Amino acid sequence: MRIALDAMGTDRAPMPEVTGAIQSLSHLDSDIEVVLIGDEEIVRTELERHGQCPDRLHVHHAPEQVTAADPAASVIRKKPSSSMVVGLRMQQAGEVDAFVSAGSTGAIMATSLFTLRRLPGIDRPAVGTPLPSLKDPFLLIDSGANVDCKPEHLVQFAHLGSIYAQHTMGRPQPKVSLLNVGEEPGKGGELVADTYDLLLDEPGLCFVGNVEGGGLLRGECDVVVCDGFVGNVLLKFYEGVAASILSPLGKERDDDEETGGLSDVLRILDHADTGGAPLLGVGGVSIICHGKSPPRAIRNAIAVAARAVSSDMVGHSARNISGSGAWLEEMK
Amino acid sequence: MRIALDAMGTDRAPMPEVTGAIQSLSHLDSDIEVVLIGDEEIVRTELERHGQCPDRLHVHHAPEQVTAADPAASVIRKKPSSSMVVGLRMQQAGEVDAFVSAGSTGAIMATSLFTLRRLPGIDRPAVGTPLPSLKDPFLLIDSGANVDCKPEHLVQFAHLGSIYAQHTMGRPQPKVSLLNVGEEPGKGGELVADTYDLLLDEPGLCFVGNVEGGGLLRGECDVVVCDGFVGNVLLKFYEGVAASILSPLGKERDDDEETGGLSDVLRILDHADTGGAPLLGVGGVSIICHGKSPPRAIRNAIAVAARAVSSDMVGHSARNISGSGAWLEEMK
C-alpha cells in the first residue's frame, strides 16, 4: 500500500508533514509506504534534519503549492504541478492508494471530486469529521462540503458515515443520529423533519433518532448527520472553544507529546488524536487535515488513510450505495 | 418597577429562584420590587429558610406548575393558574413590568406571544442569548425560537438584537454579524447569502459582515444573527461542552460563589454570569433562564429584566421597527 501525503499543506509545511510521516512508519504495517509530495529540495532539506530517510518513505517532486488564495475549483487547471493535484492524480492513475492533505479544504474537495469522481448513487460527497466525546469519537457528517441540502442528501450522508464508522472506525453496528433541536420525532425544521421520516424507513442503517447539540459530547452515537452549514459552524465553533481554552492553558501539543500529558477532561477539546477527516462518497481515499495540524495529527491521518484502504472502505461504499461494485471494478 | 419571577421554573425550584430574588434586591435600585409567583406555601417555606422576607419581595399565589411534559402551545389554556401564565397575565394587565422564568423555553415563548403579542413589523419574535467571549458577551439571536427562517426574518433578528445590545447591554453602536461558514461575502447557502445582501443595505444597523463559528468566542461583535436551528444546536453544544468540562473539574458554581473562583479561561464556558435570554419582538419583557440556573443566574436575569424595563427596550424596539411607537401607546 502506498499513501500520498501532500507535504505542503499545513501552515508550517513541510515540518509537521515530514515529522508526522517519519513517525507514522514505525506504527504502520511494514508493507505500507508513504510518498511525500512537494518541492523536492524543500522536503529533502527537512528530511535531513531528521537524519536518515526511512526506506519506506519516498519523495515525489511537485514544484507548485496551493494557497488559501487559490479559488478551490480552479486549482486542478491552474496549479497542475501543485502537490495537491499531483498527489490526487497519482491516486487517479493507481500509483498510490490514498491521499492525505492539510491544504485548503475547499481545494481538496474540488480536486478530489474531479480526479476520484463521485460514487454512483451519491449526489453530494460529504466531509466526515471524527470528534472526540466523553466515550469514543463520533463522526460528524457533513462537516462542511454542502451548505444547502435536501433530505435525500442527508440520507446519503448517513450511509456514507455508517459505512466509514463500521469499516474504518471499527464500530460493528454504527448508531446513526440526526442532529436536531430536540430529541422527539417531529422536531426541527422542514429539512430535518423530512430527513427523520426517511431515515426511519431506510434499510441498512441503525438509526437511533435525534440528538441535540448538548448530547454530542456524551458520545452515545457513532455517526451524527447534519447539513454542511450546521456541521461547519459547529465544527469551527468547537475548534474555537478548544483554541480559547487549550492555548492559554498551555495545553496545545505541537510536538509528539503523548496523550498522557492532557487530562481526560480536556481531551475532548483536542481532536488531533482522532485523525483526519475523510471526504466520503468519492471513488478513492482523500483525507483532509486541519491547516494547523501538528505532526501527531498528520501521523493519525496517515493511519486513518491506511485503515480506509485496508478495510476497502470505497468498495464497501460503492457496493452498499449503488447495490453493486461493478462501477468501481470498471474504473480500476 | 415590579418584576415577576416564576418561582417554579428551575429543576430545583423554588430554591434558586427564592435565593436569587433575595440576593438581587441588594443589587437593584431601591424602587424595584420582585414578585415571586408560585404555590404560596412552598414559596413561603423556602423564604423562611432565609429568615426575614425583604420588604421589596412579594409572593403571589399560583397553584399550578408548568412541566416539560406540557405541550407548549396549550399551557395558556390548560394551566391558567400556573406560575408562568399568572406571571405573564400580570404583565399583560400592567401589574408588573417584566417576567422572568426558568421554566420550559417553548412554553415561555408560546405564552409570552399569546399574552404580550408581537410588536408590529415583527413576524417572528426570537430568543437572544448572551454568551461569554474572550472580550465582552455577545448576543446570539435567534437561539431557538424559529427553526425555518427567511432572509427577512434574519434582518428583523438583527434589528431586535441591535436594539437590545444598545439599550440593555450598553453597546453604543452594536456591531452585528451574520453567522456563516466563511468570512467572505457570497459564502454559505441561499438563506445566509440572501440575508447578507439584505443586511448590507439595511439602514439603522452596523453590519460588520460574516463571522465563522470559530470567531464567536473572540468577541469581535455584539450581535450574531442566525436562524433558530443553527442557533439552538450551537447553544446546546456550547452548554454541553461547558458541562463536560466544568463539571468534572468541580467548577460548576451552584451557589453564590463569586466569579473570582473561576479562571478567566474557563469563564467563557460559564454563562450564568451573562444573565437570562430575552424573548425579543414581543410587546413586553420576558426573560428566559436555563432550567439548571443557580441562584446567581436568576439574580443576573432579574438584573437584565430591570435594565430592559428602565431602558425602555420595548419602546425602542417598537419605534425602531414599526417606525412609530403609536401601536405601543395604544396598547397600554
Q: Dump the DSSP string for B26-50.
A: HHS-TT-EEEEEE-HHHHHHHHHHT
- Cβ of A230 within 8 Å of Cβ of B233? The answer is yes
ipTM, two decimals, is 0.88
The answer to whether residue B266 is domain-embedded is: no
Q: Are residues A53 and A144 in the same domain?
A: no
Q: Which residues of A touch B228 (CB under 8 A)?
A: 181
C-alpha cell at B201: 443595505
- A142 touches B189 (CB < 8 A): no
Is there a single domain that holds both residue A157 and residue A289?
A: no
Among B234, B239, B264, whose Cβ lies nearest the Cβ of A234? B234
- Interface contacts A/B by beta carbons within 8 Å: 125
Q: Can you tell me the mean pLDDT for B193-217? A: 95
Identify whether the C-beta of residue A182 lies closer than 8 Å to the C-beta of residue B106: no
> Could you tell me which residues of chain A have a Cβ less than 8 Å from any Cβ in chain B?
134, 144, 147-148, 179-181, 188-190, 192, 212-218, 226, 228-230, 232-241, 243-245, 248-249, 264-266, 268-269
The domain of B219 spans 134-251
Q: Concatenated DSSP letters for A261-297? A: GS-HHHHTT-TTTT-PEEEETBSS-EEE--TT--HHH
Name the more confident of B52 and A261.
Answer: B52
Question: What is the predicted pLDDT for the residue at A322?
Answer: 61
Residue showing cell 426575614: B52
Q: Are A269 and B218 an interchain contact pair (Cβ–Cβ within 8 Å)? A: no
Alpha-carbon distance of A200 to A188, in angstroms, equals 16
What confidence score (pLDDT) does residue B328 get?
47
Please state, for a pLDDT cut of 90, what percent of chain B lies above it.
78
In B, which residues are within 8 Å of A241 by CB distance? 217, 238, 241, 268-269
Contacts of B55 (CB under 8 A, 6+ apart): none
Q: What average pLDDT does this structure show over A14-29?
A: 94
Q: What is the C-alpha radius of gyration for chain A, rounded to an integer number of angstroms?
A: 19
pLDDT at A255: 44
Contacts of A59 (CB under 8 A, 6+ apart): A7, A35, A36, A38, A40, A43, A44, A47, A53
- Residue A297, pLDDT > 60, answer yes
> Which residues of chain B does A234 touch, with a Cβ-Cβ cutoff of 8 Å?
213, 233-234, 237
The pLDDT confidence band at residue A263, using thresholds 50, 70 and 90, is low
Checking DSSP bridges between strand A98-101 and strand A286-288, what pairing results, if any?
parallel
Are A97 and A195 within one domain? no
Count of domains in chain B?
Answer: 2
Closest to B244 (Cβ–Cβ): which among A180, A188, A217?
Answer: A217
Average pLDDT, chain B: 90
Which pLDDT score, from 0 to 100, does residue B194 have? 96
- For residue B217, the chain A residues in CB contact (below 8 A) are 237, 240-241, 244
- Which of A32, A19, A11 shows the shortest CA–CA distance to A257? A19
Residue B16 located in a structural domain: yes
Mean pLDDT of B63-79: 95
pLDDT at B255: 44
Express each pLDDT in B24-58 by its tens digit.
998 889 999 999 999 999 999 999 999 878 899 99
The H or E element that residue A39 is part of is: none
Residue B240: predicted pLDDT: 87
Which of A275 and B169 is assigned the larger pLDDT? Answer: B169
| A117/A123 Cα distance (integer angstroms) | 11
E strands in B182-311 = 206-211, 223-225, 277-280, 286-288
- Is 70 exceeded by the pLDDT of residue A326? no
Pull the grid cell for residue B34: 420582585
> Which of A272, A303, A319 finishes a domain?
A272
If asked whether residues B142 and B242 sit together in one domain, one would say yes
The verdict on a CB contact (< 8 Å) between B179 and A266 is: no
pLDDT exceeds 70 at position A279: yes
Q: Name which of A140, A216, A218, A237 to mutate to probe chain B: the one with the most chain B Cβ atoms within 10 A of its Cβ.
A: A237
Q: What is the pLDDT of residues A135-174, one digit of tens each?
A: 999 999 999 999 999 999 999 999 999 999 999 999 999 9
Please answer yes or no on whether B147 and A188 come within 8 Å at the CB atom. yes
Distance from CA of B45 to the nearest CA of A (A): 34
- CA separation for the pair A220, B136 (Å, rounded): 34
Could you give the CA distance from residue B192 to residue B73 in angstroms, rounded to a whole number?
Answer: 29
Q: With cut-offs at 50, 70 and 90, classify the pLDDT of residue A242.
A: confident
A260 vs A93 pLDDT, higher one: A93
Do residues B53 and B80 share a domain?
yes
Evaluate whether residue B71 is within a structural domain.
Answer: yes
Asked if A148 lies within 8 A of B240 by C-beta distance, the reply is: no
* B268 contacts A241? CB cut-off 8 A: yes
Q: Residue A221: which CATH number?
A: 3.40.718.10
Nearest-neighbour CA in chain B from A95: distance (Å): 35
> Do B109 and B33 sit in the same domain of this protein?
yes
Q: Determine the angle formed by the axes of helices A228-246 and B228-246, rounding to 10 degrees.
A: 30
pLDDT at B25: 94
Judge if B194 and B164 occupy the same domain.
Answer: yes
What average pLDDT does the structure give for chain A? 90
Residue A145 sits in the same domain as residue A251: yes
Half-sphere exposure of B256 (CA within 13 A, CB side): 14
- DSSP assigned state of B261: G
Coil, strand, or helix at residue B223?
strand
Residue B332 scores a pLDDT above 70: no
Sign of the alpha-carbon torsion through A32, A304, A274, A291: positive
Classify residue B154: in a domain, yes or no.
yes
Task: Dig out the grid coordinates for A257 from the structure.
Answer: 507529546
pLDDT for the residue numbered B330? 46
pLDDT of residue A257 exceeding 50, the answer is: no
- In angstroms, the CA A3 to CA B16 distance is 58
Is A218's CB within 8 Å of B237's CB? no
Q: What is the pLDDT of residues B279-304, one digit of tens each?
A: 999 999 999 999 989 999 999 999 99
pLDDT in the model for residue A250: 57
Does residue B231 surpass a pLDDT of 70? yes
* pLDDT of amino acid A59: 97
Chain A positions touching B212 (Cβ under 8 A) are: 233, 236
Given B208, B234, B251, the domain boundary residue is B251
What pLDDT, on a 0 to 100 scale, did the predictor assign at position B3? 98
Put simply, the answer to whether A213 touches B192 (Cβ < 8 Å) is no
**Together in a domain, A117 and A30:** yes
Three-state secondary-structure class, residue B186: coil
- Whether B166 is in a domain gets the answer yes
Cβ of B215 within 8 Å of Cβ of A240? The answer is yes
Q: What is the pLDDT of residue B266?
A: 67
Give B202→chain A minimum CA distance, Å.
Answer: 24
Give the model's confidence band at A193: pLDDT under 50 very low, under 70 low, under 90 confident, else very high: very high
Q: A324 pLDDT band (50/70/90 cuts)? A: very low
Say whether pLDDT at B232 is over 80. yes
CB distance A293 to A305 below 8 Å? no
DSSP string, A70-106: S-GGGHHHH-TTBHHHHHHHHHHTTS-SEEEE-S-HH
Tell me, yes or no, whether B262 lies in a domain. Answer: no
Q: Give the pLDDT score at A247.
A: 67
Using one digit for the tens of pLDDT, what is the confidence trace for B237-250?
Answer: 998 888 777 766 65
Is B34 part of any domain? yes
Considering only A173-177, A321-325, B9-13, B211-215, which range has the smallest mean pLDDT? A321-325
Residues of chain B that touch chain A, judged by Cβ-Cβ distance less than 8 Å: 134, 144, 147-148, 179-181, 188-190, 192, 212-218, 226, 228-230, 232-241, 243-245, 248-249, 264-266, 268-269
- C-beta of residue A211 within 8 angstroms of C-beta of residue A179: yes
| Residues A245 and A305 occupy one common structural domain | no
Confidence (pLDDT) at B321: 78
Let me know whether B118 and B144 are in one domain: no
Determine the pLDDT at residue A268: 67
* Nearest Cα residue to A244 out of B210, B253, B214: B214
The DSSP result for B108-156, as a single string, is HHHHHHHHH-BPTT-SS-EEEEEE--SSS-EEEE-SSS-SS--HHHHHH
**Residues 6 or more apart from B194 whose CB is under 8 A from it?**
B151
Whether residue B288 lies inside any domain: the answer is yes
Q: Are residues B41 and B110 in the same domain?
A: yes
Q: Do B265 and A243 touch (CB under 8 A)?
A: no
